[in-house]
Chains A and B, each alone.
Chain A
Amino acid sequence: MATEILSGKVHVQTTINGEQVDFLAEPRESLLEVLRDHLGLTGAKEGCNNGNCGACNVVMDGALVNSCCVLSVEAAGASIETIEGVASPEGLHPLQQSFLENAALQCGVCTPGFIVAAKALLEENPNPTEYEVRWWLAGNLCRCTGYDKIVRAVLDAAERMRAEA
């Protein structure tokens, strides 16, 4: 973990999707801005920029966070997982496959946040009830689907993952 101030910018060393990454950021920039505008990881989206929609969800040191509410310098020494790291070279994650097969997206702009959030849920609770899924995902806004197919997709993915485990 190293942070160094260079002409008003801070040098931050972090780990993103298992790879060591270095970036320079202004201290006022959010992790979301760094991911999107400096590192080209545009899967996380800005919907509200104040932690109310979940479109920018990433996992930081094992905790689900709104990256718009994390300062870029807080990423120093952390391990961050973004939507870009969810699929593997072998193929899609069961959640991604389940979202496709259950038609759990329409415009798709909230989808990365939902998948990152749902993955965090299933790692903590592999067998959630419908209510537990709804409670966990209440921090993610979707305006297209009415959530029905999203909740079904998460329950379906949980079942697939339990069968594979």
Chain B
Amino acid sequence: MTAGNGAYRVVGTRPVRHDGVDKVTGRARYGVDANMPGMVWGKVLRSPHARARIRGIDTSRAEAAGQVLAVVTGDDFPDPGAGEAEANESGMQSLRYMAERVIARRRVTYEGQVIAAVAAASVHEAEEALSLIDVDYEVLPPVLDVREAMQDDAPVILDDLRTETGGVFDDKPSNIAKHFIFEEGDVEAGYSAADLVMERSYSTAMVHQGYIEPHNALAYWNPDGHLIVESSSQGHFGIRDELATMLEHPKSKIRVLPAEIGGGFGGKTTVYLEPLAAVLSRKIGRPVKMTMNRTEVLIGTGPAPGAFMTVKMGVTNEGKITAVNVDLAFEAGGYPGSAVSAGCLCCIGPFDIENFRVDGYDVVVNKPKSHAYRAPGAPQAEFAVDALIDEICAELDMDPLEFRRLNASKEGDLRVDGTRFHPIGNIETIDAAVATDHWQSELGESTGTKRRGRGVASGYWLNGGGKSSAVARLNGDGTVTLLEGSMDIGGTRTSIAMQLAEFLGIPIEDVDPIVPDTDSIAFTGVTGGSRVTYATGWAAIEAAEDLKDQMVEGLADYWDVPAESISFDAGVFSQNGTSLDFTEAAAALQEDGLEVVGKSTASPNAAGNTFAIHIADVEVDTETGKVDVLRYTALQDAGTAIYPPYVEGQMEGGVAQGVGWALNEEYVYSPDGRMLNASFLDYRMPTSLDLPMIETVIVEVPNPGHPYGVRGVGEVPIVPPLAAMANAISNAIGVRIRDLPASPREVQAAVANNA
């Protein structure tokens, strides 16, 4: 594979995406739009209690009801046993916990946990039947706060859970599932060398990914044993594999169809409804469709963990960091497996620090089992570090971008996991931020109760590689049909196709990218970790190279010359003064009866780390506590921006989600563990009126680990907004905001306490 020289023809252009027309006309088929002949509807009974023992479930009244076709409970599923399985973006997890999260067995660990499911001819009939299921609960007091859950005398939520530290298990039950420790250098010596040592605690609330399309599943268990499932997910192979594990059914007998997906952000990388629909279908021999309503999405799926964090940092008077301690306690929810380890790996990524210790605690609380949300773990962790840095800069009277440049990590510096950075664009991104019109502009006057402030923050994300498959088929008219295994969550069919078109020297309009089902292409990992344009793009380039090589072989026969004498450049095949362009070559090969299909399954592992800087201007009304975003600029290193409008789109979308996280979004609970704001009216996500235009600057420091220099772009833009907003608000009102969201209530209280 040859690397590009930067003079690209297709890469870096702004074509209309291939799936665009279907999506602006309403024709695109999402998971919720799927249906089959004979289809019936399933609905789920959820626990109203946050913590309870299930003494018994009596389904007899429901089963006797005329409209009910089938009822399932945990007893209809195989015993999960004591093993572990890969849970997509959540790493290895206990099979028992994964199974209980899909449908409860003997206990409830969060409100909204699935107790039973029913099928009926209509969704309303299914819903009505839920009230005919009698559940005998022994209700227990919930543990909702991560600090409370970590106390020695806290009620133990999972009696079979023991704290693991470095592979060693504690001997008594605890709510702390795992304790991660990362350390290098000598932290105490670092503090001794410091002129200023500051320690502060910060917290963030549990928040939801907030994708607009609720979860859904359509399953048909064919009497011959083949299970067909269609659902919106970020990885149909992952859905297939989880189904195989949970149902103890061969992968080869499960086919998962990829529907269009209406947003995921990490939240759709695992099964929720799919196993329930499958078992209902097996019972009644008809296709079963299930969808969640918005309340079910909020209480019954996997939000991002709330966090309690303490950061201690030593700096010299010149602003050089000498040592840092970061303590992260994350709410895993009702079962273990929060993103705290990634939070540990990311929290000090933007900074070159020789002496550090990072402690991460994965803590079970009676809230929904958390799941991946865009740069999982990093937004919380970097909020704490970047907010403390802002306090230190204020104390030292130092420019926060100058501080970041002085301490910026660069190639060869130590990462938290003890390895060293490859070439990265951290300093380039900081320099680009300094040069922006926004940073150079005046903030404008504060008047009366309207106080203005500016904040900056850093972002860092690891980015992922992993296995991806692509198949490129040459058509007789010179176009290429590209099958690729990655679920397309926001334009990646085109960003992958652009890389194939670049390699083959053909127009992007001549490539037709398609995501086929799990039986029709080789394994491809989940759409997550900002890996798709990198890894599936890589597979597409390799498939293109295979296709080109086969075309050369075919043309060698056509021209009756040795293949070595044929050259290929910019879509043109030449030998000895004769040449055929790509379309002519395709026609010639078809005339010869040759079918050309290039393919690749690649597992690239050199995804480049990526960095971001965000700048936020706000105006805070000290009377009402409302925060208006006046101006926002996001910068990040994209390596090479393959498809710039959608790189910008990722940046803009990440900012919007991060601003929501910073200002309004939170799970609000009653003392007995019930979510009080489980609707889009009360769980307040940013609207078009809450945001300004978002200025984006794409920095390009190519990743040497990809032929065209790609770094993942999707996740890092949600990392800086939490601290950028908190720092801006603090700058505006002169009081530090250390607990997010900075809702009007919180801001009013901060102002009042300071008065």
A105:B212 contact, CB within 8 angstroms: no
Chain B residues contacting A108 (CB-CB under 8 Å) are 19, 23-24, 28, 260, 262
A107 partner residues in chain B, CB cutoff 8 A? 211-213, 260-264, 489-490
B491 to chain A: which residues have CB within 8 Å? Answer: 103, 106
Number of A-B contacts (CB under 8 A): 178
Number of interface residues of B (CB under 8 A): 56
How far apart are the CA atoms of A111 and B294 in the complex, in Å?
Answer: 18
- A45 lies within 8 A of B688 (CB): no
Determine whether B16 belongs to the interface, using a CB cutoff of 8 Å to chain A.
Answer: yes
| A-facing residues in B199-237 (Cβ within 8 Å) | 209-214
Give Cα A142–Cα B691 distance, bound, in whole angstroms. 12
* Chain A contacts with B in 131-149, Cβ cutoff 8 A: 133-135, 137-149
Known: A47-B680, A143-B657. A105 touches B20 (CB 8 A): yes
Verify if A63 is at the interface (C-beta below 8 Å from B): no
- Cβ-defined partner of A134 (8 Å) among B19, B29, B649, B688: B688
Whether B23 pairs with A105 at a CB distance below 8 angstroms is yes
- CB-CB under 8 A from A134, the residues of chain B are 688-689
Contact at A146–B691, with CB atoms within 8 Å?
A: yes
Q: Which of B24, B209, B652 lies in contact with A111, CB distance below 8 A?
A: B24
Check if B679 is an interface residue, CB within 8 A of chain A: yes
CA distance A28 to B694 in the complex (A): 42
Shortest Cβ distance from residue A7 to the other chain B in the assembled complex, whole angstroms: 14
**A147:B656 contact, CB within 8 angstroms:** yes
The answer to whether A149 touches B294 (Cβ under 8 A) is: no
B173 at the interface (CB under 8 A from A): no
Most buried by B among A106, A111, A130, A152: A106
The answer for the CA separation of A146 and B656 in the assembled complex, in Å, is 5
CA distance A130 to B688 in the complex (A): 10
Q: Does A48 contact B680, Cβ atoms closer than 8 Å?
A: yes
Q: Which residue of B lies closest to A50 (CB)?
A: B679
Q: Which residues does chain B contribute within 8 Å of A146, judged by CB atoms?
A: 649, 652-656, 691, 694
Nearest-neighbour CB distance to chain B for A55, whole angstroms, equals 6
What residues on A are CB-neighbors of B25 within 8 Å? 43, 83-84, 86-87, 92, 96
Give bound CA distance, A100 to B23, whole Å: 9
Instruction: Determine the main DSSP class of B at the interface with A.
Output: loop
Contact A45 B32 (CB under 8 A): yes
A48 close to B646 (CB less than 8 A): no
With A143-B211, A145-B652 known as contacts, the answer to whether A109 contacts B30 (CB < 8 A) is yes
Residue pair A143, B646 in contact (C-beta under 8 Å): no
- B593 on interface, CB distance cutoff 8 Å: no
Size of interface on A: residues with Cβ below 8 Å to B: 58
Q: Does B7 contact A (CB under 8 A)?
A: no
Q: Which residues from 24 to 52 on chain A have a C-beta closer than 8 Å to any C-beta of chain B?
A: 26, 28-29, 36, 41-50, 52
Check A100–B28 contact: CB distance below 8 A: no
A43 to chain B, nearest CB (A): 2
Within the complex, the shortest CB–CB distance from A120 to chain B, in Å, comes to: 15
Return B20 CB to nearest CB of chain A, in Å: 4
The digit string for A78-91, where 1 denotes a CB below 8 A from any CB of B, is: 00001110110000
State whether B680 touches A45 (Cβ < 8 A): no
**Contact residues in B for A130 (Cβ distance below 8 Å):** 693
With A52-B681, A106-B646, A143-B211 as known contacts, state yes or no: A26 contacts B21, CB within 8 Å: no
Interface pair B689/A135, CB less than 8 Å apart: yes
CB contacts under 8 Å to A, within B372-406, are none
Contact of B24 among A29, A47, A115 (CB under 8 A): A115
Measured in the bound complex, the distance between the Cα atoms of B232 and A116 in whole Å is 24
| Residue ID in chain A nearest B632 by CB atoms | A146
User: Which of chain B's residues 19-77 have a Cβ closer than 8 Å to chain A?
Assistant: 19-21, 23-30, 32-33
Q: Does B685 have its Cβ within 8 Å of any Cβ on chain A?
A: yes
B294 nearest CB across to chain A (Å):
4
Q: Is A158 an interface residue (CB 8 A)?
A: no
Q: Point out the residues of chain A lying under 8 angstroms from B653, CB to CB.
A: 106, 143-146
Taken together as a complex, chains A and B put the C-alpha atoms of A46 and B262 apart, in Å, by 11
Docked-complex contact B679 and A52, CB < 8 angstroms: yes
B294–A43 CB distance below 8 A: no
Q: Which residues of B contact A99 (CB under 8 A)?
A: 20, 24
Residues of B within 8 A of A41 (CB): 26
Report A-chain residues with C-beta under 8 Å of the C-beta of B646: 103, 106
Residue of B nearest to A102 (CB): B645
The answer on a CB contact under 8 Å between B649 and A145 is yes
Output the least CB separation between B285 and chain A (Å). Answer: 22
B687 at the interface (CB under 8 A from A): yes
User: Which residues of the other chain, B, contact A26 by a CB distance below 8 angstroms?
Assistant: 124
Please report which residues of chain A, range 89-132, place their CB below 8 angstroms from some CB of chain B when the two chains form the complex.
Answer: 92, 96, 99-103, 105-112, 115, 130
Nearest Cβ in chain A — how far from B264, in angstroms? 8
Chain A CB within 10 Å, residue with most, of B19, B654, B687:
B687
Asked whether B26 lies within 8 Å of A138 as measured between CB atoms, the reply is no
Chain A, 44-81, contact with B by CB distance < 8 Å: what is the 0/1 string? Answer: 11111110110100000000000000000000000000
B520 within 8 A of A: no
Per the bound structure, the CA–CA distance linking A150 and B23 in Å amounts to: 14
Q: Is the CB of A92 within 8 A of B212?
A: no
Q: Please, which residue of chain A has its CB at the minimum distance from the CB of B693?
A: A148
A144 CA / B648 CA spacing, docked (Å)? 11
With an 8 A cutoff between CB atoms, is A16 at the interface? no
Task: Determine if A12 is an interface residue (Cβ-Cβ < 8 Å).
Answer: no
Q: Is the CB of B26 within 8 A of A43?
A: yes
Chain B, 538-575, contact with A by CB distance < 8 Å: what is the 0/1 string? 00000000000000000000000000000000000000
Instruction: Out of B16, B293, B694, name the residue touching A101 (CB < 8 Å).
Output: B16
Expressed in whole angstroms, the minimum distance between the Cβ of B732 and any Cβ of chain A is: 22
From the candidates B212, B260, B291, B657, name the one contacting A55 in the complex (CB within 8 A).
Answer: B212
| A117 CB to nearest chain B CB (Å) | 10
- B620 → chain A, closest Cβ, in Å? 20
A109 B262 Cβ-Cβ under 8 A: yes
Asked if B351 is an interface residue, CB under 8 A from chain A, the answer is no
With known contacts A92-B25, A134-B688, A143-B210, A100–B20 Cβ distance under 8 A = yes
Q: Is residue B265 contacting chain A, with contact meaning CB distance below 8 A?
A: yes
- Chain B residue at minimal CB-CB distance from A142: B212
Q: Which residue of B lies closest to A131 (CB)?
A: B689
Contact of A144 among B30, B263, B688 (CB under 8 A): B263
Q: Are B294 and A48 in contact (CB under 8 A)?
A: yes
Taking CB atoms, residues of chain B closer than 8 Å to A52 are 679-681
Question: Shortest distance in angstroms between B588's beta carbon and chain A's nearest beta carbon?
Answer: 35
Q: Give B649-687 as 1s and 0s: 1 = Cβ < 8 Å from A's Cβ atoms.
A: 110111111000000000000000000000111000101
Please tell me if the beta carbons of B294 and A49 are within 8 angstroms of each other in the complex: yes
Chain A residues closer than 8 Å to B106, beta-carbon distance: none
Chain A to chain B: the 9 pairs with minimum beta-carbon distance, closest first: A43-B26, A109-B262, A108-B23, A106-B490, A146-B652, A146-B656, A83-B26, A103-B645, A52-B680
* 27 residue pairs from A and B, CB less than 8 Å apart: A41-B26, A42-B33, A45-B32, A45-B212, A45-B262, A46-B32, A48-B680, A53-B212, A84-B27, A86-B26, A87-B25, A96-B25, A103-B649, A106-B263, A106-B646, A107-B260, A107-B261, A107-B263, A107-B490, A108-B24, A112-B26, A138-B688, A143-B210, A143-B685, A146-B652, A146-B691, A151-B693
